[in-house]
Amino acid sequence: MTQPDDKELLLQFHEPATKERAYTRIIRKYQEKLYWHIRRMVVEHEDANDVLQNMFIKVWNGLENFREDSQLYTWLYRIATNESLTFLEQKKKRSVVSMDDSEGSLSNSIKADKHFDANRLEWKLQLAIQQLPEKQRAVFNLRYYDEMPYTEMSKVLETSEGALKASYHHAVKKIEDFILNH
């Protein structure tokens, strides 16, 4: 099934009669991509679900003022990334209060997954990704999984393309090191 064009969806969204239908189509179009982007950041499904839903509610409120000189796709990714980073920040604060280790808890969540298989490289990669600082984790995921061009990623993360390339390079090296040594 061909996906509806963003411009057409935005036009429909700005019409009161078709607003809700258009937004439902926007959710359907981007829900899986955004879910996986968020899920790779926050690891647990319940957390990803919360972040994703809250994000779409914020988008509903903000879409009226969306400037159409940027792409809806990059704008949604930016919100999803920011929401994920905010969630992880809050989780970290809660962990400090409860004397918990946030980074460790994400790794523990991966290991606690009932499908976790320590011998599979895909699972080992997930553990390696959790060793990265949060924003670098986003850079790696967007490039590795979403195959996002640096030009678009620079809009999503509001960082220069050069800095993103360097960040991705270092991230891959750290991951390689983790995989080879674990």
Partner 1 sequence: MTRNTDILKELEQISQAVAQVGAETPYRVPVGYFDSLDTVIMARIAAGGNEENSLLQVAGKQMPQDAPQGYFDTLSDTILSKIKAQQNIQTASEELSELSPLLAGLSKANLYEVPVGYFENLPAGVTEKTTETKVVSMFSKQVWVRYAAAAVVFGLIAFGINFFSSQSTVSGPGIPTAKTEEQINTELAKISDEEIINYLKMTSDGKDVAAIASVVDQSQLPTEADYMDDAFMESFMKELEQTENKTN
User: Which residues are near partner 1 by CB under 8 A?
Assistant: 20, 23-24, 27-28, 31-32, 35-36, 39-40, 43, 45-46, 49, 52-53, 56-57, 60-61, 113, 115-117, 120-126, 143-145, 147, 168-169, 172-173, 175-176, 179-180
Q: How far is the CB of 149 from partner 1 (least distance, A)?
A: 9
Judged by CB, which is closer to partner 1: 96, or 145? Answer: 145
Nearest CA among 93, 73, 90 for reference residue 33: 73
CB of 160 to partner 1, least distance (A): 17
Residue 75 parent element (H or E):
helix 72-97
What's the number of CA atoms in the CB half-sphere (13 Å) around residue 71?
12
User: What tokens were used for 47?
Assistant: 């957390």
CB of 135 to partner 1, least distance (A): 19
Measured distance CA(96)–CA(105) in Å, rounded: 12
User: 106 near 126, Cβ under 8 Å?
Assistant: no
- Which is closer to partner 1, CB of 11 or CB of 57? 57
